[in-house]
């Protein structure tokens, strides 16, 4: 079969028809190119010139809007007693938002919270003869904070209002005695531990001699005076046998100080007496001592 001769070189040649690119082809090409660059280890964003996805201009940086501040507490004052401090203030004026609450901070420790419409707070966890720094912090619903501060000093209080607790060095001085065949009139020192019978002294307390375990006396508290009587053996002997004796302790607080944040008795004075009735073939005996104590450990 014969073949047609090739067309002259000056005649147009029909090119094969180009397939219609899929919709979004430019988008696909950008994604593919970004993916290719990501594989190559670059983080450069690429946009094709003239592509429909190219931004028309540089986008501006977003600006954060500051949260509104609450109005600070105004005219903050502190009224101090020996065991309480009352803080008072008024809601501050200004362009701020109302406080959602107030945080009460004493010496960098939060001691309480009150609602945003409150204008006072009572702190009943203070001790006498102390200086305290307070902050009342207004807190908005969004969490922004602004504070006011004040300093106050609590007055002193009588020693009888303090807790009788802890270990004391006790100096014992004999003042009189009778009925003993032998008796040392030298002063001596003992250790007494006081344990209150309540969580918020002053109140009744127990005293124990650290060197003589059978010496344990329950003391009734009235004001700053502590007194108690107990029967025990081992203090007096008769014919080589321990006799039973009655021991009475009566002391009163003479000084108090703040120790570890707690108002405590730090010194006391008083008396201790012992009486032993006739028994085991021995006559009765008695002795009386002056005692003074100083706190050594809380």
Gap between the Cα atoms of 137 and 146, Å rounded:
6
As given in the structure block, the two tokens for residue 263 are 């108002």
**DSSP code at position 282:** B
Q: What is the pLDDT of residue 84?
A: 97
CB 192 within 8 A of CB 208: yes
Q: Is residue 25 part of a domain?
A: no
Residue range 126-137, pLDDT digits in tens: 999 999 999 999
As given in the structure block, the two tokens for residue 14 are 């029909």
Q: What is the pLDDT of residue 2?
A: 46
pTM, 2 dp: 0.71
Collect all residues with Cβ–Cβ distance below 8 Å to 110 and sequence separation of at least 6. 103, 104
As given in the structure block, the two tokens for residue 165 are 């607790």
Q: What is the pLDDT of residue 56?
A: 52
Tens-of-pLDDT digits for all 298 residues of the chain?
444 455 544 444 444 445 555 554 444 444 433 433 444 444 433 333 444 454 555 556 677 778 889 999 999 999 999 999 999 999 888 888 999 999 999 999 999 999 999 999 999 999 999 999 999 999 999 999 999 999 999 999 999 999 999 999 999 999 999 999 999 999 999 999 999 999 989 999 999 999 998 899 999 999 899 999 999 998 898 888 899 999 999 999 999 999 988 999 999 999 999 999 999 888 999 999 999 999 998 8
- Sign of the C-alpha dihedral computed for residues 66, 70, 75 and 77 taken in this order: negative
From 123, 153, 183, the end of a domain falls on: 153
From 111, 128, 153, the end of a domain falls on: 153
Residue 65 three-state SS: coil
- In Å, the largest CA–CA distance within the chain is 162
225: buried, middle or exposed (CB in 10 Å: 19+, 13-18, 0-12)?
A: middle
Q: Is residue 22 part of a domain?
A: no
Residue range 8-33, pLDDT digits in tens: 444 444 444 455 555 544 444 444 33
Residue 271 and residue 241 share a domain: yes
Residue 201 and residue 111 share a domain: no
Q: Is residue 181 part of a domain?
A: yes
Q: What is the pLDDT of residue 213?
A: 86
Q: What is the pLDDT of residue 185?
A: 94
Burial of 250-279, coded b for 16+ CB within 10 Å and e otherwise, reads ebbbbebbbbeeebbbbebebebbbbbeee
Q: How far is CA 242 from CA 177, 178, 230, in A?
A: 18, 18, 16
For 131, the domain range is: 74-153
């Amino acid at each position: 079969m014969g073949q047609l001769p090739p067309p002259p070189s000056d005649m147009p040649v029909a090119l094969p028809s180009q397939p219609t690119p899929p919709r979004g082809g430019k988008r696909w090409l950008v994604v593919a190119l970004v993916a290719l660059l990501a594989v190559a280890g670059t983080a450069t964003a690429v946009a094709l010139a003239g592509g429909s996805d190219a931004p028309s201009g540089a986008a501006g940086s977003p600006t954060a809007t500051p949260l509104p501040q609450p109005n600070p507490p105004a005219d903050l004052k502190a009224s101090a007693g020996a065991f309480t401090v009352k803080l008072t203030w008024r809601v501050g004026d200004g362009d701020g938002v109302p406080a959602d609450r107030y945080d009460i901070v004493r010496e960098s420790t939060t001691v309480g919270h009150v609602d945003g419409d409150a204008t006072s707070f009572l702190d009943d966890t203070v001790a006498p003869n102390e200086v305290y720094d307070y902050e009342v912090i207004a807190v908005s619903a969004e969490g922004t904070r602004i504070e006011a501060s004040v300093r106050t000093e609590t007055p002193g209080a009588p020693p009888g209002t303090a807790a009788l607790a802890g270990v004391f060095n006790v100096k014992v001085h004999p003042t009189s005695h009778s009925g003993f065949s032998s008796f040392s009139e030298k002063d001596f020192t003992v250790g007494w531990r006081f344990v209150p019978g309540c969580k918020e002294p002053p109140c009744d307390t127990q005293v124990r001699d650290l060197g003589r375990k059978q010496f344990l006396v329950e003391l009734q508290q009235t004001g700053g005076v502590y007194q108690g009587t107990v029967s025990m053996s081992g203090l007096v002997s008769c014919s080589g046998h321990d006799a039973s004796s009655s021991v009475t302790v009566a002391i009163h607080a003479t000084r108090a100080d703040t120790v570890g944040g707690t108002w405590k008795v730090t010194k006391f004075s008083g008396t201790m007496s012992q009486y032993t009735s006739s028994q085991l073939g021995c006559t009765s005996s008695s002795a009386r001592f002056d005692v003074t104590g100083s706190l050594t450990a809380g």
